[in-house]
């Protein structure tokens, strides 16, 4: 814990004198350990990198990263940031109303479902593969119910993909296609993770063409030649071509994310490298 805090302080000092152009979003899951150690120092560091907005992934017991919604909103505002969206993976029908109210109170526009909720998500540690149980009809129904609740509260619901949603399941169903075709865009839209759609060998351009306007935000993360997570602009994904179709896709926001870092790179350093490459790729 002390080592993480010291690293954060050094990082903040290093970049404090460097003027940064403010644009783009950062997914705070990237710096989840830093956020546990010190939300205040981490938010200051993310702001100093030049990000304009963030996405959250740290809600529990009515609080965001241990802080009441209004207090966390104030912390972000202090550093010139705003929370556009939040991953709410623990939502269920019993806690949904309170969770939606907390998201609203934090000034957040998008309530994001990061995986099939309510026990539907599966993970095989041996193969490191993800999936779901319970049927796509049930998932579409849950998302619709939650989406209507969000709409009533004045916010919007998005579903975030991994790779398995683009791969035919045992019934030959493609989950992402079913959700797109069987949910109402008035209540349910999507956050497209560009790493995972690439991992699944699916074609994002085909989805933009067939389902225009449904992908309200992107997770921007790169893939190295070995298929591992990489800082944006340091890997193999053709972000520039994807960006040319962002209006057709419906993209309003994007969030830099790197689930894991390698070769001794710290998460904040990964966000820094990614931020440095964004404008070159057309993200501004």
Question: What CATH number is attached to the domain comprising 90?
Answer: 3.20.20.150
- pLDDT for position 162: 98
**158-173 residue pLDDT tens:** 999 999 999 999 999 9
Q: How far is CA 161 from CA 71, 77, 116, 172, 187, in A?
A: 30, 29, 9, 18, 17
Distance, in Å, from the CA atom of 174 to the CA atom of 177, rounded to the nearest integer, reads: 5
Is 167 among the domain residues? yes
In a domain, 195, yes or no: yes
The domain of 196 spans: 2-258
What pLDDT shows up at residue 13? 46
Do residues 45 and 18 lie in contact, with contact meaning Cβ atoms separated by under 8 Å?
Answer: no
Q: What is the pLDDT of residues 124-159, one digit of tens each?
A: 999 999 999 999 999 999 999 999 999 999 999 999
Say if 271 falls within a structural domain: no
pLDDT of residue 284: 85
- Average pLDDT of every residue of the chain: 94
Question: Which pLDDT value is given to residue 4?
Answer: 55
- Of the two residues 81 and 19, the one the predictor is more confident about is 81
Query: Comparing C-alpha atoms, which of 86, 169, 186 is closest to residue 130?
Result: 169
Would you state the pLDDT for residue 32? 98
Instruction: Dump pLDDT digits (tens) for 242-269.
Output: 999 999 999 999 999 999 999 999 999 9
Q: Is the pLDDT of residue 85 over 50?
A: yes
For residue 274, is it within any domain?
no
User: How many alpha carbons lie under 13 Å from residue 211 in its C-beta half-sphere?
Assistant: 22
Indicate whether 267 belongs to any domain. Answer: no
* b/e per residue 69-104 (b: at least 16 CB within 10 A): beebbebbeeeebebbbbbbeebeeeebeebbebbb
pLDDT tens column, 174-233 = 999 999 999 999 999 999 999 999 999 999 999 999 999 999 999 999 999 999 999 999
Please indicate, yes or no, if residue 58 is contained in any of the structural domains: yes
Residue 277 lies in a domain: no
pTM of the full predicted structure? Answer: 0.93
In a domain, 270, yes or no: no
Total number of domains in the chain:
1
């Amino acid at each position: 814990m002390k080592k993480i805090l010291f690293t954060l302080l050094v990082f903040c000092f290093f970049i404090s004198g460097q003027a940064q152009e403010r644009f783009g979003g950062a997914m705070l899951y990237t710096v989840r350990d830093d956020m546990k150690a010190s939300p205040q120092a981490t938010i200051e560091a993310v702001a100093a990198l030049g990000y304009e907005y963030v996405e959250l992934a740290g809600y529990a017991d009515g609080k965001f990263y241990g802080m009441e919604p209004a207090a966390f909103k104030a912390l972000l505002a202090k550093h010139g940031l705003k929370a556009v969206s939040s991953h709410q993976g623990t939502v269920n029908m019993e806690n949904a109303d309170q969770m939606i109210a907390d998201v609203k109170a934090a000034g957040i526009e998008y309530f994001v479902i990061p995986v099939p909720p309510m026990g539907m998500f599966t993970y095989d540690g041996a193969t490191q593969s993800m999936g779901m149980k319970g049927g796509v009809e049930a998932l579409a129904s849950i998302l619709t119910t939650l989406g209507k609740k969000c709409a009533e509260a004045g916010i919007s619901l998005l579903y975030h993909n991994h790779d398995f949603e683009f791969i035919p399941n045992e019934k030959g169903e493609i989950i992402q296609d079913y959700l797109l075709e069987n949910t109402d865009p008035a209540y349910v839209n999507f956050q497209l993770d560009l790493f995972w759609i690439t991992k699944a060998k699916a074609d994002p351009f085909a989805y933009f063409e067939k389902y225009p306007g449904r992908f309200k935000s992107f997770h921007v993360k790169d893939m190295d030649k070995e298929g591992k997570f990489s800082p944006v602009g340091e890997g193999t994904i053709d972000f520039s071509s994807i960006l040319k179709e962002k209006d057709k896709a419906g993209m309003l926001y994007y969030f830099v994310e790197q689930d894991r870092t390698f070769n001794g790179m710290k998460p904040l350093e990964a966000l820094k490298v990614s931020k440095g490459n964004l404008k070159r790729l057309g993200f501004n």
